[in-house]
Structure 1
């Protein structure tokens, strides 16, 4: 094979040049990606070099030498960096292979038609060379694309950190992410340990193209989403987040990128209002403001648990659980004992008896709105940070309430019933 090529070298070189012109024109005419990417001179030069490399690869293969693939790798990396689709690159190699074979057969026929049968074994060798060149270019393309994607992800992560942490040039970071100076934004924080990446880095998971845009920042301690709501209501984020199957905290709507750092803190606070055992779903801060007050201060929440519900928490674990569940259900039913009984699958009188016992233990009356507020906040503190139920070694038996007037600012507690 190498001997035949040497015999027709001069004619083949001329024909390869013509083939390069033909392939260049065809590529620019039929492939808009190439036409938008490069000029004719640059494309023609690279195509001509690739066709020449295919011929040289065939010669090296016939001599038992490895095919030189560095130029193919360089081409693949170049086109990846320019954003050319991989299919376009591979298509050009495929068309180029046909033109090389056509140029070979025409040159041999012109030189000595009787020598054409000697060329046939070279067909398989040529396509093997072209496969190697195409594979080398494709692998380099994919590798370069992966590296480029990683750099883009790191760049975007840095820009999101600027917005979500409030550090650095916020306006510039927002502009690079394509966010308007004024708009409607919110922040979503997912509970750590959720199932992997929540979707595309810049995606609209589970919704159409008109859905709010979500930009995700994933770190070891949390997964945070920046939502550009546009005209959509804040509640629309519930539908976007539902397929993820995780707990999420959602901030209120803010009007400018400069407010996103504060929104992130509020979203994290909204997430803390949900107990660890809660079912997946989105917790909107504005729907959980009382619980958010409790979640905002762990020390105060612990004090609230102890002062208001301490006697309940000192009960055996099952007794405490029953009373706390009854209280939470009664609060969720807006103070309706009948509805609470239906949810708890027990008789209305059972609920009433449990609530009266809770009133005796806590010294709080469910008929007093101020006491109900205390109990509701204390219940939120318990569900957000469950404390071990049952008496502790330091716990002392409850003493009967002292006779006499109750000091101002306190509530007299009833003696704990026996048993």
Structure 2
């Protein structure tokens, strides 16, 4: 609905209003306004009991009403209100919830309006109506400035907390390794029991963004997740809790669908070793492979990599012995050994390779005679498992 000219005029201050409006404002007592405000604030959830001392509430309340009255008396657009910044910062540091703070600020308008209408005469009715917008805009300006200061201070506090947390976590991974006493203090500062099991994951290269997305999901679910950059790897760790049916539990399962290395640490004292292992496991993922590289999936590859880096060829003698066979026999012998290592059962491997059990046993025996490595003896089969990983 479009306002009529008469309606617009009624809601807008006119030239003759200024003197009477100032008299009304001057009759308002900041101390009395503050005491009324305090009785209302005490009823607001988040201020009952108040995290801010009563003396501080009274002091800032008095300064607030003085500032608001000065703004209202000027009859100009509200400008910067200095006390707004102080209140925003102090309430953020006191842990007042933002919704409780906003509700408290809204009481300023109610207190002002009720006080104005109480002292006004019947002849002031139209004057009061014409200044409704002034009162609203002044309180809104104060509320906006206070909220801006609050939000900025909360962000600064979060940044400071994150910086401290990063420093604590970096200490866990430093050389030389921190003492048990230091690790115990770090665990406490991070809010983790020293011996609490920790789920650890690592991603490298192009796999890092997907892990970051999951970390953000954990954060939104209210789960405390910690991160650290270890060389080229992003390390994530969290307390390994089991909460069936919760969002957190679903996210914990989703982790295993990512291209990451995963592991577990029995407390902060073992975190560094677990993170290094998770990083090494993540590096084993070949192009095109999907899912997490667990210890069970990757231990043989990891062992092979360590042996090769130390100059051990692992299966050079086996390959040399198999080279003496014809191509067809080599394929049959190797597939028999690989299948048996995977199943541990002659019957299952025979079915997998569509041959008789005796045929498979003969091929395994022939493999052992040629290479000197018997796939049916665990101590010898381990070399094949690692070499073929």
- The answer to whether the aligner puts 1:103 opposite 2:112 as a matched pair is no
May I ask how many residue pairs the two structures share in their alignment?
A: 347
For the pair 1:24 / 2:38, whether they are aligned, the reply is: yes
Does the 8 Å CA contact 1:248/1:271 hold for their aligned counterparts? yes
1:332 aligns with 2:346: no
1:235-266 CA-to-partner distances (Å, cap 9, x unmatched) read xx996532233134344553x53333233333
Deviation at 1:288, TM superposition (A): 5.5
| Structure 1: distance between partners of 2:215 and 2:293 | 16
How is 1:79-98 mapped onto 2 (pairs within 5 angstroms)? Answer: 79-98=91-110
Task: Determine the C-alpha separation between the residues in 2 that align with 1:322 and 1:90.
Answer: 77
Aligned-residue offset at 1:57: 2.3
Distance in 2 between the 1:51 and 1:340 partners? Answer: 90
2:226 matched to which residue of 1?
216
Give the structure 1 partner of residue 185 of structure 2.
Answer: 172
Give runs of aligned pairs for residues 42-191 of structure 1, distance below 5 A. 42-60=56-74, 62-63=75-76, 65-109=77-121, 113-165=122-174, 166-167=177-178, 169-181=182-194, 183-191=195-203
Partner of 2:19: 3
3-state SS of 2:120 partner: helix
| Counterpart Cα distance in 1 of 2:67 and 2:334 | 79
Paired with 1:312 and 1:251, the residues of 2 have a C-alpha distance of 37
Equivalent position SS for 2:215: coil
Aligned to 2:326: none
Aligned residues of 1:247 and 1:283 also touching (Cα < 8 A):
no
Equivalent-residue separation in structure 1 for 2:331 and 2:143 (angstroms): 68
Gapped regions of structure 1 (runs ≥ 5) = 314-319, 381-419
The corresponding residue for 1:225 is 236
Give the C-alpha shift of residue 98 in structure 1: 1.4
What SS does the aligned partner of 2:227 have?
strand
Q: Structure 1 2/191 Cα, relative in aligned 2: closer, same or farther at 3 Å?
A: same
Find the counterpart in structure 2 of residue 262 from structure 1.
Answer: 273
Query: Does the 8 Å CA contact 1:188/1:248 hold for their aligned counterparts?
Result: no
Point out where structure 2 has 5 or more consecutive residues left out of the alignment. Answer: 1-16, 324-329
CA distance in 1, matches of 2:322, 2:68: 84
After TM superposition, give the deviation of residue 125 of structure 1 in Å: 2.2
C-alpha distance in 2 between matches for 1:216 and 1:376 = 35
Secondary structure in 1 matching 2:261: strand
Shift of 1:203: 5.8
How many angstroms does 1:321 deviate by?
12
Alignment deviations for residues 66-114 of structure 1 (CA, whole Å, 9 cap, x no partner):
42233212211221122110011110111111111222222332xxx31
Question: Secondary structure at the residue paired with 1:84?
Answer: coil
